[in-house]
Amino acid sequence: MPSFDIVSEVDNHELTNAIDQSNREVITRFDFKDSGATYEFQENKITLRAQNEFQLKQMQEILNIKLSKRGIDLRSMDFGKVESSLHEARLVITIKQGIEQDFARKVIKLIKNANLKVQAAVQGDQVRVSGKKRDDLQNVIALLKEEKLEQPLQYINFRE
């Protein structure tokens, strides 16, 4: 029986490259000279550090541009609140990896409401969709691409 998996993942290699490019741009820009502004990446979290909130907003725009150019969807980022102290401002961005249970239920409900002859089930942090016809599975992919979901989805392991 044909099947495929729905996942939500970010390519860590491309993410690291985008962060490195952003760091290089901040170092070379005149308005950030001697400011100590940096991007740090550790375990699905990007920490932006700058002297003030204005520089932090500029750094966020630089990062967004670099991520977009590398094909990383900005919907997979969860932007936290700006934390300011006397001499430093910080912003922590969390990268969404995998599909949470609530979001998986929403995806399954969308598939079931479409009245296609497929079955969808949650398997860990992904959703497995199976059906008798390949066309039905392709219709599910088309349906999910049309929907404006709050998290980007990828479709992998398409099997006959």
Tokens of 97: 């990896």
Residue 78 shares a structural domain with residue 32 = yes
Greatest pairwise CA separation for the chain in angstroms: 62
Residue 18 shares a structural domain with residue 80 = yes
Tens-level pLDDT at each residue, the chain (160 residues): 888 999 999 999 999 999 999 999 999 989 888 888 999 999 899 999 999 899 999 999 999 999 999 999 999 999 999 999 888 999 999 999 889 899 999 999 999 988 889 998 898 889 999 989 888 889 999 999 998 888 898 888 888 8
CATH for 120: 3.30.70.860
The shares of helix, strand and coil residues in the chain, as percent rounded to the nearest 5, are: 40, 30, 30
How far is it, in rounded angstroms, from Cα 136 to Cα 77?
31
Q: How far apart are the first and last CA of the chain?
A: 6
- This prediction has a pTM of 0.83
How far is it, in rounded angstroms, from Cα 108 to Cα 104?
6
Residue 17 shares a structural domain with residue 90 = yes
Domain that holds residue 117: 3-8+99-159
